[in-house]
Structure formats: structure tokens, C-alpha cells
Amino acid sequence: MTFYAAGLSADATGTVLEVDVSNDATVDYYLTYSDLVSGYSICVDDGTVVAYDYQSPVSTGTYETRYVVTIDIKPGSYPNSINPNEEGLLPVAILGSATFNVETINPSTIMIGSVALATRGSAKAPKLAFSYEDVNGDGYVDMMVFFSVQELETAGIFDTDPVLLTLTGQLSDGTPITGTDSVRIVPP
């Protein structure tokens, strides 16, 4: 069992833990530190998380700090409709804020599932498809990233229902990031 915590500190009260029961890198459920959830509570101690059923430990795992980012697929549209048979790029905004500078993200680590950022430019000197701009008009710089719709389709990213796309990556200091948004699949 692996636990992921966003911004965990010595006083973790209120911290949301993402729990991966099967250790397959997918979040099975979320728990809030010190809350009783179905008779369980969470105790964090120096990188180890112990789930207690009242007073008896029932499982132990490790956690890593994972920064949860806000993403917006196809900014400015809702629902986020995608025809998986179309050619082209899927735009995804990673939103900056007063407390998060998107320019600290390492662009080469950004993925949706097993699909990396699309490239643009010549075949001899391809560049990752991303830019910085204020997408939502809040005064903070956002990061626009682009993925090949066909690569996402080939990788089976659109095969779940509902379709939730989870973006992952790392900050320049190696801290993992994750963000999720939904899409609606439309027929060809």
C-alpha cells in the first residue's frame, strides 16, 4: 500500500492522502489525515504512514510528497469534447496561482498516461509543444501543453468511462506533480 500526500508537514492535520492500495500507481481512494474514515485513522511518522482500525495497525506504507496542480483541458470550453479519431493536438492548461509558479515545472517530464508532450518544429530539431501565457485571465502565468490526440487514442487513454485524464510530471527539484480533468468523447 502506498500513500501519497500533498504538502505534508510535521503537523499534517487536514492533509489529503491519496491511497494506492494495489501499488499500481493509481489512486484507489483519498483519506484525510486524522479523520476517521470507515473506522480507520491515519498516522504519519517520518515518511511512513500507518492506517489504524481504531487502535490496531492494519497496514503500513510509505508516502511521497506530490504537488496537486489544477489543469484545464481545452481551456475555455466545457464540456471538454474530444473526437479520438481526429488528428491534431489536445491543449491542456496547467494553471498558475499566487502560490504556484508553473515555470518551475520540468516540461520534459509532463505526461498523460504513457504519452509525453507533442513536439513541434523540424524533425532535426524538435521542441516540446508548450508555452507560457495567462490562459484564464487571473493575472498569473499558466503553462499550455499539447498532446497528440492520436497518441492518446493509441495508448488507450480514452478507453475508460468516465474519461478522466491525469497529467503527471515533476518540478525542477524532482517533486512529482499531478492534476486531473474530465473529457467527453464524441463520435466521429
Of residues 187 and 34, more confidently modeled: 187
Nearest CA to 148 out of 163, 162, 128, 173 is that of 128
Spell out the residues 6+ positions from residue 125 whose beta carbon is closer than 8 angstroms to its own: none
**What distance in Å separates the CA atoms of residue 47 and residue 11, rounded to the nearest whole number?**
13
Residue 90, SS3 per DSSP: strand
Please report the pLDDT score of residue 123 as a whole number: 84
Please report the pLDDT score of residue 163 as a whole number: 83
Q: Write the pLDDT tens digit of every residue in 28-37.
A: 445 544 433 3
**What percent of the chain clears pLDDT 70, i.e. is strictly above it?**
63
Please report the pLDDT score of residue 173 as a whole number: 87
Of residues 50 and 188, more confidently modeled: 188
164 pLDDT tier (thresholds 50, 70, 90): confident
Nearest CA to 112 out of 54, 48, 69 is that of 69
Q: Is the pLDDT of residue 65 over 70?
A: no
Q: How does DSSP assign 135-181, residue by residue?
A: SSSSSS-EEEEEEEHHHHHHTTTT-SSSEEEEEEEEETTS-EEEEEE
Please report the pLDDT score of residue 16 as a whole number: 53
Q: All domains of the chain, ordered by start, with CATH? A: 2-65 (no CATH), 68-185 (2.60.40)
Burial of 90 (0-12, 13-18, 19+ CB in 10 A): buried
Q: Which three cell numbers stand for residue 153?
A: 487514442
111 pLDDT tier (thresholds 50, 70, 90): very high
Residue 179, SS3 per DSSP: strand
**What distance in Å separates the CA atoms of residue 130 and residue 143, rounded to the nearest whole number?**
7
Q: Within 13 A of 10's CA, how many CA atoms are on the CB side?
A: 0
Please report the pLDDT score of residue 78 as a whole number: 86
